[in-house]
Amino acid sequence: ERRREAEAQAERETREKITLPAFFETEYLPGAKLTLKADSVRKMEEHVRNWIAPAMGRIPMRDIRQFHLERLRANLAASGRSPRTMQYVFSTLRRVWNKARDKGFPLGPSPTKALDLPRVSNERQRYLSAEEADTLLEALTARSLQTAQMALLALDCGLRFSEIAALTWGCVVVDGNRLLILNGKGDKDRAVPMTARVRDLLDSM
């Protein structure tokens, strides 16, 4: 009974003293690798390794306060990181924090809620004209045919690089003249129409 009580006390002390990077490595990361895309996991690992750990890596999670997050924000700003990058880093911190709280670690609400971050505008300023798109494709073709082909898919079908890289012949619906995008943004599947020149490109391949 004394041994069990000592083990339980040691476990409680470990949970109370765990740091955010340690929790990320031992508790969060194994599950994330099973449920998130590899690229998302890689970015979160970079956020923890490059930014979160240097700013608060030795502080127990229960002792993290808003001024620690302000220091992290100042480090990001001093390094010239964009407002969007700041938001991604703090999103990683918030997700890890919430997971720890859900698993019973002695934590309150995420301190990121009280932190002001730079606003990011997603408003698109303009699109390439048809002439500009043709000029881009010509310049790319002169340097790399594969890059030009990928740019064509991005321009005509609105695909992201990860979606283009993940395409297989099973995604090409010839009769329906469309491409199936599997596990796209938001882990959602969708279908996009093929333009004539995208169809010609795939036919040539």
122 vs 139, residue with greater confidence = 139
Tokens at 81, concatenated: 């990181």
Distance CA 46, CA 153 (A): 29
| Vertex 182 angle, CA 195 and 30, to 5° | 150
Confidence (pLDDT) at 169: 92
Model pLDDT for residues 107-123, shown as the tens digit of each residue? 788 888 777 776 766 66
15 pLDDT band, cuts 50/70/90, is confident
Confidence (pLDDT) at 153: 93
29 vs 10, residue with greater confidence = 29
196 vs 186, residue with greater confidence = 196
Helices 83-102 and 38-47, axial angle in degrees (round to 10): 100
Confidence (pLDDT) at 57: 81
The answer to whether 21 and 57 have CB atoms below 8 angstroms apart is yes
Mean pLDDT on 82-103:
90
Question: For the chain, what percentages of helix, strand and coil (3-state, to nearest 5) are there?
Answer: 65, 5, 25
Confidence (pLDDT) at 110: 82
For the chain, percent of residues with pLDDT exceeding 70: 92
Distance CA 19, CA 64 (A): 9
16 pLDDT band, cuts 50/70/90, is confident
The answer to whether 29 and 45 have CB atoms below 8 angstroms apart is yes
Mean pLDDT on 175-187:
80
Confidence (pLDDT) at 187: 66
Chain centre to alpha carbon of residue 47: 10
Confidence (pLDDT) at 32: 92
41, pLDDT greater than 90: yes
185 pLDDT band, cuts 50/70/90, is low
